[in-house]
Amino acid sequence: MSVPKNIKHKILFVCTVNRMRSATAHKIYNDDERFEVKSAGTDKTAETVITLDLLLWADVIVVMEKTHRNYIRQKFAAIYATKKIVCLYIPDDYEFMQPELIRILKEKFEDVYQRGLV
Residue-wise burial string across 5-38, b where 16 or more C-beta atoms lie within 10 A, e elsewhere: eeeebebbbbbbbbbbbbbbbbbbbeeeeebbbb
pLDDT in tens, 11-58: 999 999 999 999 999 999 999 999 999 999 999 999 999 999 999 999
List the domain boundaries for the chain: 9-114
Give me the architecture of the 9-114 domain, per CATH.
3-Layer(aba) Sandwich (3.40)
Burial class of residue 87, CB neighbours in 10 A (0-12, 13-18, 19+): middle
List Cβ neighbours of 98 (8 Å cut-off, separation of 6 or more).
24
pLDDT tens per residue, range 93-113: 999 999 999 999 999 999 999
